[in-house]
Structure 1
Amino acid sequence: MRLRGVFRAAKLPNGHRAIGTKWVFKIKRKAEGSIEKYKARLVAKGFKQKYGIDYTETFSPVVKYVTLRMIIAIAKYFGWPLDQLDVVTAFLYGIMKELVFCAVPEGVDLDGDFDCL
């Protein structure tokens, strides 16, 4: 994530709180049970945030099922081709209006006098 410019090390400003972080590990297995790969993701403990202090709104863009069916029906009617696309890292590059400070994850060493991300 550092190489992709998702976050940068920072010094926590006075009056701000850092959101805690947690590593979540998972082992992905093949059908016969052998290990395919190890996965890790870093999650922010956003449930500890307070409305009006740490954030002002939440939003998750999700399409309604009926809308999706209508688009497919219209495309079929007019003979338009349909394609599917999945951008795995799209959420990493969203534009945020507020500054968010996260605690440094366990096992991560930051160069310099930084105490948050």
Structure 2
Amino acid sequence: MISMQEELNQFERSGVWELVPRPQNQSVLGTRWVFRNKMDENGIIIRNKARLVAQDFNQEEGIDYEETFAPIARLEAIRMPLAFACFKDFVLYQMDVKSVFLNGFINEEVYIEQPPGFQSFNFPNHVFRLKKTLYDLKQALRAWNERLSKFLLKKGFKMGKIDTTLFIKTKDNGMLLV
């Protein structure tokens, strides 16, 4: 229960949705909880995780979403910077974006049911209209990639010509690869 409440609190902080009356002529996607135990290197459970996901099997192309394509990093785009970093003795950092898909803006009008076990007492028949993407939506990956790419380009990064998932910024003697 605590993990589920933490997930919903993250949704509120990120402004993922708003509670609205159920639309008449619009499909409403279901939601479900996915649970996972996070373990340490010894296999001991250190945290329980709960993730609310959309039941995207009801989404119809052209109605609920337009395009799902998002570029995927090629293996070479990962190997080459690693090899270069080893050769030049660079310091490498790994980064994880918490709740990554909750950061992608959604272009379509998408409605989802209230999460199981967390329905509003005052508005039990209302649904959520999404402002940002949710895990398992067909357009989630594309929306996140679009937002990240725009941000990096705005900050002076150059997009790779061969692999568009690689972003490079150089300044004086420094180089930053994302």
**Matching residue of 2:102:** 92
Inter-CA distance 76–36: structure 2 relative to 1 (3 Å threshold): closer
Which residue is equivalent to 1:72? 82
Report the structure, 1 or 2, having the larger helix content. 2
Distance 1:19 1:63 in 2: 30
Q: What CA distance in whole angstroms lies between the structure 2 residues aligned with 1:85 and 1:23? A: 26
The offset of 1:62, in angstroms, is 2.5
Deviations 1:9-62 (Å, cap 9, x if unpaired)? 1123232111111112234456465x4332211111001211112111113443
Instruction: Show CA shifts across 1:57-92 (max 9, x none).
Output: 113443111111123334455555432211122211
Gaps of 5+ in 2: 1-10, 129-178
1:105 maps to a residue whose letter is P
Higher relative strand content: 2
Separation (CA, whole Å) in 2 of partners of 1:22 and 1:116: 14
- TM-score norm. by structure 1 comes to 0.78
Which one scores higher on RCO, CA 8 angstroms, separation ≥ 6? Answer: 1
Moved more, 54-63 or 95-104: 54-63
8 A Cα contact 1:2 1:8, kept in partner: no
Distance 2:43 2:100 in 1: 32
- Quick one: percent identity of the two aligned structures? 35
Q: Which runs of 4+ in 1 moved over 6 A?
A: none
Say whether 1:39 aligns with 2:43.
no
Tell me the residue number matched to 1:25. Answer: 35
TM-score by length of 2: 0.54
Aligned to 2:126: 115
Counterpart secondary structure, 2:14: coil
Residue 17 of structure 2 aligns with an amino acid whose one-letter code is F
- What letter corresponds to residue 35 of structure 2 in structure 1? F
Q: Specify whether residues 26 and 81 from structure 1 end up closer, same or farther in structure 2 by C-alpha distance, changes over 3 A only.
A: closer
